Amino acid sequence: MAIDYGKKRIGLAIGEKGLVSPLIVYPLDSHIFVRIRKICGEELIDKIVLGVSDTLEEEIKMFGQELEKAVGLPVVLEDETLTTKEAVDKMLMSSTKRKSRREKIDAVAAAEILTSYFGKLKR
């Protein structure tokens, strides 16, 4: 599973053997770890890839440490530079309507993070 972290929302994506799908966007609130733990159990997740940006690096690392404790799975940090832009570009190319883009962009960005992570594993 990959997470695109934001101050208000986080996007989740899941993948296996290089196949990646955007999953859902949640508000960043006091229930976030419970929600993530539930999805990890339902989807049999064995690792979480957390996107890290330069602007929120310390906040994201702290979130990752708390997440690792709350969920009981390893959290791997992955550079998320340009993933949101790539996600927007893909959604524009597929003619996704503006409202839908706003609702799904964080999950699509999480999918870009996971795709990048899988790409590095292949090398």
pTM for the complete prediction?
0.84
Domain count, the chain: 1
Give the CATH number for residue 75. 3.30.420.140
Q: What is the pLDDT of residue 99?
A: 60
Walk along the chain (123 residues) and give the pLDDT tens digit of each residue: 999 999 999 999 999 888 899 999 999 999 999 999 999 999 999 999 999 988 899 999 999 999 999 999 999 999 887 666 676 666 556 666 666 556 577 888 899 899 889 988 876
Domain limits for position 77: 2-122
SS3 of the chain: the string is CEEEECCCEEEEEEEECCEEEEEEEEECCCCHHHHHHHHHHHHCCCCEEEEECCCCHHHHHHHHHHHHHHHCCCEEEEECCCHHHHHHHHHHHCCCCHHHHHHHHHHHHHHHHHHHHHHHHHC
* pLDDT of the residue at 89: 66
